[in-house]
Amino acid sequence: MTHILLYWNHICVLHRQEKAFLDTLAQRLLADNIHLEVRYFGLGYSEHLSDYLARPDAILPDLIVSADLEVFEDPEIFCKLRDSLYSVRDWIPLRSGPMLDAVERGPFLLPFLSIPLVYYTRDPESCACTALPDWNGLALGGINNSAVKTVVKAVWERWGSRAAETLLERSLVTDMPIGAFHAVRQNRARTALVPSLYALRADGRETFLQLPAGGPVLIPSYFCARTSLAQQLARRMAEEILCPSLCAFYASNGDLIVYPEHAQSRSLQDVSMACCPSASWLEAMTHDDFYRLYCRKLPGAVDWTQRS
């Protein structure tokens, strides 16, 4: 029997359905003498995937599906994977356009989907004319996951490190994105930058969903495959996982931007422009430079290299 080890750190609010999908897939693969072992990371589990892979004793998997972007963006973690990755970008046709352009990361990472961050607000007029670094009192959520880190990186690339510092100094930053959403609901903030799945709860009278001036901030996820698995089987697994039914589920139930061309449903936030740090900027950013700023401005932030 062929053993495949998949590490999964994906969409926490939809995880119950994700797990049901993967359990069904694993059962189906048994008929072909394939044992799919899935190890889950993220909210509800003992650690994030990036924290695990940062450990010196981490066991590398055959496949990864992750929205924990430090796996791919932190050079001290990604270097463990890079030399053993297949060039997967062209394994599945993707829908071209500005949403895909914003999240392209080179040949080793296959974009799967993006969580669009939009404004949930009591002040829609301000949203139309306020650039991200100019907010005072914006609620953000997700200190130690990809959400706030991606916003900071996107602002840093476009407006500079001082703008990123100022945004953090002037913002209400909560542990998780749902905390930023509740800050507006409880009138502790006028506007929050949150996943559109939360902002769609706006009533259109007192609270509103508004797009940032530069389009939604994208939190992408990626599929990658290591050469520890035969290429033909790795390609089959990409097709099995990034399949039409799962893509349709994500778009319909999570308002997520889904990249495979065969996806029929589309997010309401799939517009003509988006904001996401570029591959070239991320490659130039060092671990120390990012976390020096990030941890100084957010006392609750964790730099895995400083753990005892």
Domain ranges of the chain: 2-115+218-267, 116-216+287-300
Using the CB atoms, write b or e for 186-195: b if 16+ within 10 Å: eeebbbbbbb
pLDDT of 89 above 80: yes
Q: Which two tokens stand for residue 222?
A: 């990626």
The two three-digit tokens of residue 168, written as one number: 């953090």
Domain formed by 116-216+287-300, architecture:
3-Layer(aba) Sandwich (3.40)
Q: Is the pTM of this model over 0.85?
A: yes
pLDDT band at 244 (very low <50, low <70, confident <90, very high): very high
- Report, in this order, helix, strand and coil percent for the chain, each rounded to 5: 45, 20, 40
Give the pairing type, strands 63-66 and 217-225. antiparallel
**How far, in Å, CA of 12 to CA of 66, rounded?**
11
Helix (H) or strand (E) holding 39: strand 34-40
Assign domain 2-115+218-267 to a CATH class: alpha beta
Give tens-digit pLDDT for 128-166.
Answer: 899 999 999 999 999 999 999 999 999 999 999 999 999
Distance separating alpha carbons of residues 89 and 207, to the nearest angstrom: 39
The span from the CA of 152 to the CA of 290, in Å, is 9
Q: Does the fold of domain 116-216+287-300 match that of domain 2-115+218-267?
A: yes
Q: Write out pLDDT tens, residues 97-120.
A: 999 999 999 999 999 999 999 999
Among left, alpha and beta (phi > 0; psi -120 to 50; other), residue 126 is alpha
Q: Both tokens of residue 227?
A: 């050469």
